Amino acid sequence: MSALLDVKGLTVEFATRRGTVQAVKRIDLEVARGETVGVVGESGSGKSVTSYAVMRILDRAGRIADGSVAFSGLDLTAASERQMTDLRGREISMIFQNPRMALNPIRKVGRQIEDVLRRHAQAGSMDARAKAIEMLSQVKIARPEERYHAYPFELSGGMCQRIVIALALACRPQLLIADEPTTGLDVTTQKAVMDLVSELTRARGMSTILITHDLGLAAAYCDKVVVMKKGEVVETAAAREVFAAPKDDYTRRLMRATPRPGSTLRGLLPPEIAAAPNPPATVTGEVLLKVENLVKEYPRQGVSKSWAQMFGRGPAAEPETPFRAVDGISFEIRRGESLGLVGESGCGKSTTSMMVMRLTDPTSGAITLGGDDIGAIPARSFAASKHRRRIQMVFQDPTDSLNPRFTAVRAIADPLMRMGSLKGRDALRARCEELATLVGLPLDLLDRFPHQLSGGQKARVGIARAIALDPELVILDEPTAALDVSVQAVVLNLLDDLKAKLGMSYLFVSHDLHVVRLLCDRVIVMRQGRIVEEGTSEKVLEAPDAAYTRELIAAIPHPPV
Amino acid sequence: MRAIARRLVTIVPTLIGVVIVTFLLTRVLPGDPAAYFAGPTADQASIDQIRAALGLDKPLPVQFLAYVKDLATGTLGAALSTGQPVLNELKARLPASAELTLTALLISMSIAIPLGILAAVKEGSFIDHVCRVVTTAGVSLPVFFTGLLFVYVFYYLLGWAPAPVGRLDVYFSEPARVTGFFTIDSLIAGDLETFRAALAQLALPAATLALFSLAPIARMTRASMLSVLSSEFIRTARAAGLRSRTVILGYAFRNAMLPVVTTLGMVFSFLLGANVLVEKVFAWPGVGSFAVEALIQSDYAPVQGFVLAMALLYVALNLTIDLLYGLIDPRVRLEA
């Protein structure tokens, strides 16, 4: 049987200011009917561009320079735009990363599904609504009649992705291209969404291309895996073979860098640069951070804010109980220790870190840092407090957390200038160079702006900035979530080295239990503002007590060990 | 409905502020109305006499109270120059200004919005450059210049337009007053001749103003469309095979409309102010020229009346825009 999709020698070029750039170079890709093919690679590997080229929805600057894309025998590179709009959505459809952004924000989701159904004459004005509701129930949305009238902003990320899936599958296409469909979703949501996709596509005998940076996801859901690197295919093989015996060097490196049960921090790095493991951190008995009965309440989003309240005439008639984002949690971090704070979105882990960082005020509870009651200092005046320099933070998005108009050296010098005692340009520069060396940032990059740096380099700048004042506690808020696995491996190792060298303590906030295990001595699992499990990393991952922890661990896809 | 009511309540402090500020501003203006109306040859005694008659010799708080009392009874005072009550003057002149401004805005929107959409969809094409040239020309030419140029070309050289002598040629009589808009009133009266004449008078000044307001609307439409067109849900819509017409008009334009509506509101208020010059050039009996004359003569009552009327209009305009937001974007509705 011939392949449903047969891509041969596809080359995609982009016209940029510095001339044409080949984003995809002569790649071959074959998808048989009913097959699920994973396209795996890191950012810049050209995996998304390939799919856009197949759909012919490249940006204006991009064009297919060479090669052929045969779909059911029809050459898509030669098809007219009219033919393509007929094919899109009916024969080939696509689901995207960031589902909330992928839906029209001001149109009811049901109407958006109807638009597609009507466009491809799958429904008329009489039955469109019924069919849209039917699609909603197929993607397992509870109360579909009600949800038909919802706007995307009223739905959770997982729900929005279900809507996008409903949209893509409404016209029963033969091929589904899923471009990082679960990036940014929680692990349990990811599992639910991926299970839904594979169930629906299997039931309909559809073919799927799953584009992902996550080898674990590809291993769990694909029949065949194509590994891409810098616009080229480096390896194509059955999924089982790729993971059992990766042939290409690059695939092997990717495999190594993906954290999974049993891997070690050093083991993530390519063998040629792996150093000796750090000596186990010297955790002294001294408690650095002590959090007791921390509570953060938010008023519920109510429509009625009474007049009396608005005019400050005392509290209004007691409304419903406020929402508790953090509901009475207590924990300690000792000097030199790193504590992982794990949970899904909305569990209160970020609120907790914000309160420890003294960016928001707790409703009640105490926070003490090395014996000083920092919880008593209002968040508004904490920036001027002498304790401020003792806590620093590394943020999730290395790009967004750097001022785009500051050079790297200016960004690193910022805390020094605000709170440090160094005076004079030369002293500052020297300290920044020292810090850059410490985090492994080449000195010649110091005068560059964030947009001239790679993701890993920006992460290093963010870390250098955080350690500039020799803090005692560093809060790491998903510091590697936006990075490729190979870069993540390097950054995690860097963080571990720095901790050993500088004797800091870490509060590591993450959704990824495997990453947390590598870096942290102890782990706290949070759910709905409460701690459900607490213990050493090994114990929590290998013998979890709480059912929720087990569920979390089971939901993480990983390549076979 | 409750949202509207709540929104209306927030207007009250604004209005109180406007009343106070207009009162104070007219008082700090240089110039003494008493001296002005007494004439250049008057002696101090007669100036003082006039001042007492106008109530200007009393302390400011007392004057202010009197002003507020007048307002509460619906009196805006009389214009010293004409002797007419200000309210009547405004009633007669406001529709003239409003008709001119609204027509200009309609013309401008019907050209600028499609132009902006086209320029965004075909970015970098010929039409994009046309859009750029037209909008640049529109803002860089002052309205009195384009007004005079139009009069010169269309009235003097070509003779297509009637003489720029106000709202209606002398041979026609005003239609029965319903809305105060001559074009609409004449249609209501079924008088096509008058309608045509009113329209002919309106064409040049409206076009002048429209050219001026073209630029912000077209630019904002283009910029807003460009950012929406590059967003991810447009890619989804394209990947679902929706026709480009649906994608551009149904999906992109509705999302791009919020900033455009904001601009429309701003442009409308600019126009209300900017048409003073156009009214002068075309001898248009609007509120703008009325207010400027009053201001030159330090005639307090008409200036206060004018500013108050403008403030009310502006408040009403903002309310309309806020309501439009809610219609366009469900997310705004939630916050209201």
What pLDDT does residue A345 have? 82
Candidates A48, A84, A106, A183: best to mutate against B (most CBs of B within 10 A) is: A106
With respect to residue A310, please indicate whether it lies within any of the assigned structural domains: no
Q: What is the nearest CA distance from B313 to chain A, expressed in angstroms?
A: 27
Over 50: is that where the pLDDT of B146 sits? yes
pLDDT per position in chain A (561 positions), as tens? 578 999 999 999 988 888 888 889 999 999 999 999 999 988 888 888 999 999 998 888 888 999 999 999 889 988 998 999 999 989 999 998 888 889 999 999 999 999 999 998 887 888 899 999 999 988 888 889 989 999 998 888 888 999 999 999 999 899 999 998 888 788 888 888 899 999 999 999 999 999 998 888 888 899 999 999 999 999 999 988 888 888 888 998 888 888 887 778 888 888 777 666 666 666 777 889 999 999 998 887 544 444 434 444 444 444 567 888 899 899 999 998 999 999 888 888 888 999 999 998 999 999 999 888 898 888 888 888 888 989 999 988 888 899 999 999 999 999 998 888 777 888 999 999 999 999 989 999 999 999 888 888 999 999 999 999 999 999 999 888 888 888 888 899 999 989 888 889 999 998 888 888 888 999 999 998 899 999 998 899 888 999 999 998 888 887 665
Residues A120 and A230 in one domain: no
What strand order describes the sheet that includes A505-510?
A391-394, A473-477, A505-510, A338-342, A522-527, A530-536
Question: Does residue B117 register a pLDDT over 90?
Answer: yes
The tokens of A45 are what? 């590997």
pLDDT band at B282 (very low <50, low <70, confident <90, very high): confident
Count: domains in chain A? 3
Determine whether the interchain pair A119/B239 forms a contact, defined as Cβ–Cβ distance below 8 Å: no
Cβ-based contacts under 8 A for chains A and B = 79
- Give the residue, B268 or A228, on which the prediction is more confident: A228
Q: Tell me, yes or no, whether A178 and A251 share the same domain.
A: yes
Contacts of A221 (CB under 8 A, 6+ apart): A36, A38, A194, A197, A198, A210, A557
Residue B250 forms contact with A (CB below 8 Å): yes
- Cβ distance A456 to A433 under 8 Å? no
**A122 plus A135 within the same structural domain:** yes
Euclidean distance between CA atoms A252 and A246, whole angstroms:
6
Helix (H, G, I), strand (E, B) or coil at B110: helix
Which of A254-258, B70-74, B243-247 is predicted least confidently?
B70-74
- Do A502 and A382 share a structural domain? yes
Hey, is the C-beta of A53 within 8 angstroms of any chain B C-beta?
A: no
Can you give the CATH number for the domain in which A363 is found?
3.40.50.300
Is position A420 within any domain? no
Looking at the fold, whether A202 and A329 belong to one and the same domain comes out as: no
Cα–Cα distance, A53 to A46 (Å, whole number): 10
Q: Which of A93, A98, A107 has the CB atom closest to B240's CB atom?
A: A93
Judging contacts by C-beta atoms under 8 Å, the chain B residues touching residue A117 are none
Ordered domains of chain B (ranges, CATH): 2-72 (no CATH), 94-335 (1.10.3720.10)
- Kindly state whether residue A433 falls inside one of the protein's structural domains: no
- Note whether residue A459 is domain-resident: no
Tokens 């009214």 correspond to what residue? B279
Q: DSSP string covering A193-260, please?
A: HHHHHHHHHHHHT-EEEEEES-HHHHHHH-SEEEEEETTEEEEEEEHHHHHHS--SHHHHHHHHHS--
> Which of A170, A186, A214 is the last residue in one of the domains?
A170
CB B294 within 8 A of CB B81: yes
Residue A20 forms part of a structural domain: yes
- Let me know whether A497 and A355 are in one domain: yes
Which of the residues A58, A104, A177 would you substitute to probe the B interface, choosing the one with the greatest number of B C-beta atoms within 10 Å?
Answer: A104
Identify whether residues A385 and A480 lie together within a single domain: yes
In a domain, A369, yes or no: yes
Same domain, A190 and A152: no
Instruction: Look at residues A353, A438, A443, A447 and name the one whose alpha carbon lies nearest to residue A395.
Output: A353
Contact B240 A101 (CB under 8 A): no
Does residue A105 share a domain with residue A210?
no
Chain A residues in contact with B238 by the CB 8 A cut-off are 57, 88
Report how far apart, in Å, the C-alpha atoms of A540 and of each of A289, A345, A496, A507, A526 are.
21, 20, 20, 17, 12
Radius of gyration of chain B (CA): 24
Q: For residue B313, how many C-alpha atoms fall within 13 Å in the half-sphere facing its CB? A: 22
pLDDT for the residue A532: 93
Q: Which residues of B touch A162 (CB under 8 A)?
A: none
3-state secondary structure (DSSP) of residue A505: strand
Q: Is B170 exposed, middle or buried (0-12, 13-18, 19+ CB in 10 A)?
A: exposed
SS3 A494: helix
> Do residues A136 and A144 lie in contact, with contact meaning Cβ atoms separated by under 8 Å?
yes
Q: Taking residues B143-162, what's their average pLDDT?
A: 86
Place of tokens 């992902």: A212
The A residues from 123 to 162 touching B (CB cutoff 8 Å) are 151, 153
Q: Note whether A332 and A383 are same-domain residues.
A: yes
User: What per-residue confidence (pLDDT) applies to A320?
Assistant: 61
Contact call for residues A65 and A12 (beta carbons, < 8 A) = yes
Say what the pLDDT of residue A561 is.
Answer: 56
CB pair distance less than 8 Å for B330 and A98? no
State the residue range of the domain holding A125: 99-170
- Model pLDDT for residues B26-66, shown as the tens digit of each residue: 777 776 777 777 777 777 888 888 777 777 777 888 888 88
Residue of B235, B241, B330 with shortest CB distance to A120: B241
Contact A116 B330 (CB under 8 A): no
CA nearest neighbour of A51 among A210, A234, A185: A210
Q: Is A170 exposed, middle or buried (0-12, 13-18, 19+ CB in 10 A)?
A: buried
A443, part of any domain: no
Together in a domain, A293 and A379:
yes
Chain A closest CA to B232's CA: distance in Å?
5
Query: What pLDDT, on a 0 to 100 scale, did the predictor assign at position A275?
Result: 65
Q: Looking at chain B from residue 251 to 290, which residues have their Cβ under 8 Å from any Cβ of chain A?
A: 251, 254-255
Chain A segment 223-262 residues within 8 A of B by beta carbon are none
- What pLDDT is recorded for position A318? 47
Contact A93 B246 (CB under 8 A): no
Q: What is the DSSP letter of A88?
A: B
CA B249 to chain A, closest CA, distance in angstroms equals 13
**pLDDT value, residue A253:** 87
CA A502 to chain centre: 29
Chain-chain contact of B251 with A88 (C-beta, under 8 angstroms): no
Contact A88 B254 (CB under 8 A): no
Is residue A270, in this structure, part of any structural domain at all? no
Q: Which residues contact A307 (CB under 8 A, 6 or more apart)?
A: none
Torsion of Cα atoms, A235 then A239 then A242 then A245, to 10°: -150
Q: For residues A296 and A346, is the Cβ–Cβ distance under 8 A?
A: no
Subunit contact A151:B330, Cβ cutoff 8 A: yes
Q: Which of B123, B238, B251 sits opposite A57 (nearest CB)?
A: B238
Structure token pair of residue B294: 């009053």
Q: What ipTM did this prediction achieve? A: 0.78
> Residue B329 — φ and ψ, nearest 5°?
-120, 115
Note whether A162 and A293 are same-domain residues.
no
